[in-house]
Structure 1
Amino acid sequence: MKYVAAGAVLFIFGLMLPIEGIPRLLLFLAAYALAGGEVVLRALRNISRGQIFDENFLMTVATIGAFAIGEYPEGVAVMLFYQVGEYFQDLAVNKSRRSIASLMDIRPDYANLIEGEGSRRVEPQTISIGEDILIKPGERVPLDGIITSGSSSMDTAALTGESLPRDVTVGDSVLGGFVNRQGLLKVKVSKPYGESTVSRILQLVEDAGARKAPTESFITRFAKVYTPAVVFTALFLAVLPPLFIEGASFYDWVYRALIFLVVSCPCALVISIPLGFFGGIGGASRNGILVKGGNYLEALNYMDTIVLDKTGTLTEGKFKVSEIYTNGRLTKEELLRVAAIAEAHSSHPIALSILEAYGKPVENGSDPGHKEHAGLGIETTVDGANVLIGNDALFNKRGILMEGGNSDSTVVNIAVDGKYEGHITVEDRIKSNAGKAISELRSMGVSQVIMLTGDNKNTTERVAAELGIDKVYYELLPQDKVGIVEELMENSSNGKKLAFAGDGINDAPVLARADIGIAMGAMGSDAAIEAADVVLMTDDLEKLPQALRIARKTRRIVWQNIAFALGVKGIVLLLGAGGLATMWEAVFADVGVAIIAVLNSTRAMK
């Protein structure tokens, strides 16, 4: 900026000093070289690369043209204002980037690795799974892990956007990026740094800017056609009227053409629109909603159908055994023991609830080569007997008759050596805010809410009735979910988008297939988070309507910029062509509009 400042000083001298002729030309040329030399060099460099029609070319042609017709002060003034405008645009853009970076300032600088009786400060990248780290009060959690000693209150705002602290104790999971507010914690690392939550969030935010929204792509294509069009229009404006209109002077029409060139610069659109989407992504991340690109943020505006997984999405995903039914050959305790041994190798929430209800160390009585039937159940060997444990579909498939009647809860059937022995009923509570979230989505124009689940008909219909869901599909296998989503997408209206929200490993294929895949980040599996386009870091369903509000606000701001920039430019172009606008109005229509549009874009972050 120092050269621009020096050019401004010479420009003021040129206006004030009573000099004419060659000295005056040389003084303004020196001012021009200092203020606009960088722009001219950029234009020449881009021309040598085949990139002719850009804002540098427009500014160079317009200002050199002003010198050619003797308007030295205006030629320098245009370049000065253009450079000052670029400087303020850069300030606004850098400020927005810093704001977003500060929102995501969660990268840990170090970790306290426990060694013997003490600890040593090391880089988080050097720590392996299973090693123990110490987290002192006020420190940021460097890696994901499980608390093995101590209790505390965690500030989770950087990841989840939640202002309320989260109390944690032995056995609870903590994520990289949380801040330990008070107690001394000992944590066993569960993921290496590269796979930790903090590392993946940073990567998602960094990658998000690379995925352009359709509006961004359109503006980029528009600018490539628009810029050469206005250059040739300006050329015709300078040459044709003096040839065909009697009394028209080349001086007047060349001046009008130069104004036309300055006004036509598409900077406001090219800079402010991507910045608007970038700000929207940053604003969403601040609220615990990770959007993996501007294209997905824009797609949310057209969401017409939302398909929801049940367990862990609409419900808490924390099952509890509510009833044990036995036909009498085994006691309830024996039936529970068989189920616990069979489920010992599973991490499914239902399996964990059975193990919790059993409450004892599981004997090594299960066959390590047991077979899992995806979405149906498990077949294994316990104490030398063949055990089948699963849902009604699995038992119907094997022709095993069941007893005990229908239940509105989830039922896990158990058979030993092909004979039905009883079932265990487990219940999963509906999330307290699920109904409110669905109601908000409807009020925002989402016309269809659909639920997919592998659970039984009775449980599914009870949940659907309580939440007011339009349509349900139950007793589904993972591949069935993909087929249903594809069918729904084929039948959807043109331009409308279908979103799927889920959290499990078995939801990953559907998340990848839907127009918009939304994963529950706190309880969701790594595969689901990886496949999704949007991640809700708190598993809070009310984040869904909030994501829609952010998407709509961002789109509103982007289109405000488009309308404002094209509107002002259109008016000044017409005035310039009619001889009613000077270079000063042209400078405002270019630089002023760009600055206002950029400042408006930063509103998307709030």
Structure 2
Amino acid sequence: MTQTPSLKTQQMQVGGMDCGSCAAKIEAGVQKIPGISETSVSFATGRLSVTYDPKQVSDREIHDRVISLGYTVISPESHGEANDRGHNHGSGDFNLKEELLPVLGVVVLLVLGIIFEKPLHDTPYSIGEYAAFIPAYLISGWTVLKAAGRNILRGQVFDENFLMTIATLGALAIHQLPEAVAVMLFFRVGELFQEYSVGRSRRSIKSLLEIRPDTANLKVNGTVKEVSPETINVGDIILVKPGEKIPLDGEILEGNSQIDTSALTGESVPRTVKVGEIVLAGTINQSGVLTIRVTKRFGESSIAKILDLVENATSKKAETEKFITQFARYYTPVVVFLSLAVALLPPLFVPGATHTEWVYRALILLVISCPCGLVISIPLGYFGGIGGAAKRGILVKGSAFLDTLTAVKTVVFDKTGTLTKGVFKVARIVTKNDFSESELLKIAAKAESHSNHPVAQSIREAYGQPIDDADVTDYEEIAGHGIRAKVNNQVVLAGNDRLLKRENIDHDNGNVEGTVVHLAVDGRYAGYILIADEIKDDAIKAIQNLKSLGIEQTIMLTGDNRIVAKSIAERLGLDSYMAELLPEGKVEAIEKLLSRSGKNKVAFVGDGINDAPVIARADVGMAMGGLGSDAAIETADVVIMTDAPSKVAEAIQVAKKTRQIVVQNIVLAMAIKGLFIALGAIGIATLWEAVFADVGVALLAIFNATRVLK
């Protein structure tokens, strides 16, 4: 979503959400405030994200609305605020052992009540059965009764608390005391396991976020002191000892070592680093002592952006999640009125039907129809998919993009830095018109002195001598063509075939495998420099893996010449390629593919630096090796934190597994609930079986959802 400049996005950690429908209530309640543009609540993370117009609504009003709905806002100012709903589920502090103690007490009372129910029923001491069942009912159901009562007073009638309250009070009214207690008991046990499962998923994501460094060793005037990474500025010098996390992005000034990048990239093989190389915050220094000059403040570092992405990924919801939220909103009232019809109509129209029998059947319908399993397990499945992808070094910015990945049939790759290593080296120098090789290289290096392009860097590296900035004037980059500059008062053109054709300079075509930089001095052709690049080690495997996943087309887009493009496309086994494209030409190519794709989706994979427009235009934009690239993290829908193209297929695989689990949960819940509704309606199922089925469906769906994290 493109955010209007006047709009502001605020995030709050919400406490007290004890079921997935709580998230829907908060969304609906906050959305009603005038000035709110978009609201999203993740039950899995307990986070509320609100986009609003600060001229119409304040942070305080949003905060107060959440409080008025019966929840708490956990923030640095109010972290210790009491939670009037019993347990602060949003905080993630959940102790299963403590919660099980009252449950065990209820079990004891229920068993005693059942044992003594018959002997006491026909005696003057029949009150004894109430002495066991009523306390058991109140202990197990107090939080449900309280929540239902409070919600009714606030006009929020139809939810799972209301369903359970009506079902159990109805059971008490028809003197089905054991069933009433059992419904509350098993509902509470189901909630405990739901909370435990959600807690596990939260802890799994939290473990990903533990890569955040806590301290840094700052060097000041020859001494080292331990400080917070947030206090360190660009240019400061830090010391990282073996075994410590690298706290900020920076350049190595002294030392060499091996670093463990698995927390960021999912790669288990340590990487060797030396003086002059850039290292990223969150990686672990394994062997030598490193002295590092900080290149980014902590808030701007890759690790800070990654932490923010992982924590906020659930705000962009998939259509399935949105559907389930809407479904639950209308489903519960329908179930209540249907149950009312089951209780009231048959005794009026069916001969011999009794009110007690049909009220009992209606109560079964209420219990079995509780939507908790779906409302929790669907978001939890997507949450697990995002977490599972992050463990593999793949950042997905929202469950909506996981769904889109499952529909991808065309994958389009950029060439340089994506399928090839992007590490260019001068392979050959071909001179013309009396220029020598050393002279041509010198002119090219000076002309390219202000360019950050990998080709320009390779030419400067081959030259290997310092360049005086005074020698170069009137420098101009011509997009998609090359460079024009004055070098020692001579007009130098350095670029591709298109540049020289545009300037009407006769030249060799340079039809060789590699990137060709043509040079002209004062309108006279001087020769060309051949730059070689290498295909990445796993590029061939990446294309094969995509084919095995059912991808119909793999295409490469490049600004390089056709001979180079054809050679690489054939070696990789790509279906097609487009060469000699200007930056706008890549966007046009994607537009054509999108117009022909129909319901199928198109993914574009680029290096995230100069491919931002194409990444933004594709159905799914994927940034390859984008860990240190601000453009990648900002623009892409999926950020692959390594340079491995094989991760593209892995991302699609995770998305398909997530989707499969979500569909399994929907089918499982609907099938079992449908079966027991039918059994209850014809009088075969009892309240005991109904509550077992309801809790069982919820737990099965939740445990199934957590599989995607692995």
Q: Give TM class, smaller chain.
A: over 0.9
Is 2:703 aligned against 1:576? no
Q: Which residue of 2 aligns with 1:119?
A: 224
DSSP-derived class of the 1:313 partner: coil
Give yes or no for the alignment of 1:540 onto 2:540.
no
Give a deviation string over 1:92-140, Cα, whole Å, max 9, x none: 1101211222133200001111112221111111111121110000000
Alpha-carbon distance in structure 1 between the residues aligned to 2:480 and 2:681: 70
Q: CA deviation at 1:50?
A: 3.2
1:190 Cα deviation after fit:
1.4
Cα offset for 1:406?
2.0
Counterparts of 1:364-443 in structure 2 under 5 Å? 364-367=469-472, 369-403=474-508, 405-443=510-548
Counterpart AA for 2:652: L
Bigger mean CA offset, 325-334 vs 425-434? 325-334
Query: What residue in structure 1 maps to residue 561 of structure 2?
Result: 456
1: CA distance, partners of 2:642 / 2:608: 15
Give 2:592's aligned residue: 487
The secondary structure found in structure 2 opposite 1:365 is: helix
Q: Judging changes above 3 Å, is the alpha-carbon distance between structure 1 residues 404 and 266 closer, same or farther for their aligned structure 2 residues?
A: closer
Match of 1:149 among 220, 233, 254: 254
Alpha-carbon distance, 1:311 to partner: 0.3
Note the alpha carbon deviations across 1:332-385, whole angstroms, 9 max, x for none: 111111111121111111011001100111122344652111221111111112
Decide which moves more: 328-337 or 200-209.
328-337
State the match for 2:110 in structure 1: 11
1:56-75 equivalent positions in 2, closer than 5 A: 56-75=161-180
What is the TM-score when the length of structure 2 is the normalising length? Answer: 0.83
* RMSD (CA atoms): 1.6
Q: Distance in 1 between matches of 2:433 and 2:507?
A: 14
> What does the per-residue CA deviation read over 1:568-591, in whole Å, with 9 as the maximum and x for residues that have no partner?
111111100010011111111111
Higher relative contact order (CA 8 A, sep 6+): 1
Contact kept, 8 Å, 2:608 with 2:626, in 1: the verdict is no
Secondary structure of 1:581 counterpart: coil
Distance in 2 separating the partners of 1:395 and 1:523: 36
Matching residue within 339, 347, 360 for 2:465: 360
Shift in Å at residue 14 of structure 1?
A: 2.9
CA-CA distance at 1:525 after TM superposition: 3.1
Does the Cα contact within 8 Å between 2:446 and 2:472 map onto a contact in 1? no
Pick from 407, 429, 432: which aligns with 1:302? 407
Q: Is the 8 A contact 2:608 2:615 kept in 1?
A: no
Task: Specify which of 149, 156, 161 is matched with residue 44 of structure 1.
Answer: 149
> How far 1:43 moved relative to its partner?
1.6
CA distance, structure 1, for counterparts of residue 455 and residue 627 of structure 2: 14
Are 2:419 and 2:539, in contact at CA under 8 Å, matched by a contact in 1? Answer: yes
Among 585, 600, 604, the alignment partner of 2:689 is: 585
Q: Are residue 189 (structure 1) and residue 288 (structure 2) matched?
A: no
Is contact 1:5-1:35 (8 Å) kept? no
The whole-number CA distance in structure 1 between the counterparts of 2:509 and 2:412 is: 32
Distance in 2 of aligned mates of 1:85 and 1:337: 75
How many residue pairs get aligned? The number is 605
Which of 598, 601, 610 is the matching residue for 1:497?
A: 601
**C-alpha distance in 1, partners of 2:484/2:377?**
59
Distance, in Å, in 2 between the alignment partners of 1:504 and 1:453 is 14
Q: Which residue of structure 1 aligns with residue 79 of structure 2?
A: none
Q: TM-score, normalised by structure 1?
A: 0.97
* Contiguous gaps of at least 5 residues in structure 1: none
Does 1:475 find its partner at 2:580?
A: yes
Q: Name the counterpart of 1:518.
A: 622
SS in 1 for 2:492: strand
Equivalence for 1:234 = 339
Contact 1:378 1:389 (C-alpha < 8 Å) held by counterparts: yes
Please tell me the residue identity of whatever aligns with 2:517. V
1:243-274 CA-to-partner distances (Å, cap 9, x unmatched) read 00000001000000000000000111111111
**Counterpart selection for 1:250 from 332, 343, 355:** 355
Other structure's SS at 1:188 match: strand
| Paired letter, 1:435 | I
Report if aligned partners of 1:437, 1:544 keep a CA contact under 8 Å in 2: yes
SS of residue in 1 equivalent to 2:574: coil
3-state SS of the aligned residue for 2:563?
helix
Residue 284 (str. 1) matches residue 389 (str. 2): yes
Per mean C-alpha deviation after superposition, the further-off stretch among 238-247 and 167-176 is 167-176
* Alpha-carbon distance between aligned partners in 2 of 1:485 and 1:295, rounded to the nearest angstrom: 21
1:381-416 deviation digits (Å, cap 9, x = unpaired): 111122211111121112122136422211111122
CA distance in 2, matches of 1:104, 1:260: 43
Please give the alpha-carbon distance, in whole angstroms, between the structure 2 residues aligned to 1:450 and 1:525. Answer: 24
Matches within 5 A, 1:85-124: 85-124=190-229
Aligned to 2:660, which of 545, 552, 556? 556
Give distance in 1, aligned partners of 2:434 and 2:235.
Answer: 43
**Structure 2: unaligned runs, 5 residues or longer:** 1-98
**Residues 512-565 of structure 1 deviation map (CA, whole Å, 9 limit, x = unaligned):** 111101101357632123211111111101111111221111111111111111
Contact (CA 8 Å) 2:481, 2:499: kept in 1 or not?
Answer: yes
Q: Higher mean Cα deviation, 329-338 or 135-144?
A: 329-338
Deviation at 1:478, TM superposition (A): 1.6
CA distance in 1 between partners of 2:395 and 2:245 (Å): 20
* Correspondence for 2:80: none
Change (3 A) 1:388 1:353: same
Taking the aligned partners of 1:66 and 1:291, their CA distance within structure 2 comes to 47
Instruction: Measure how far apart 1:172 and its partner are.
Output: 1.7
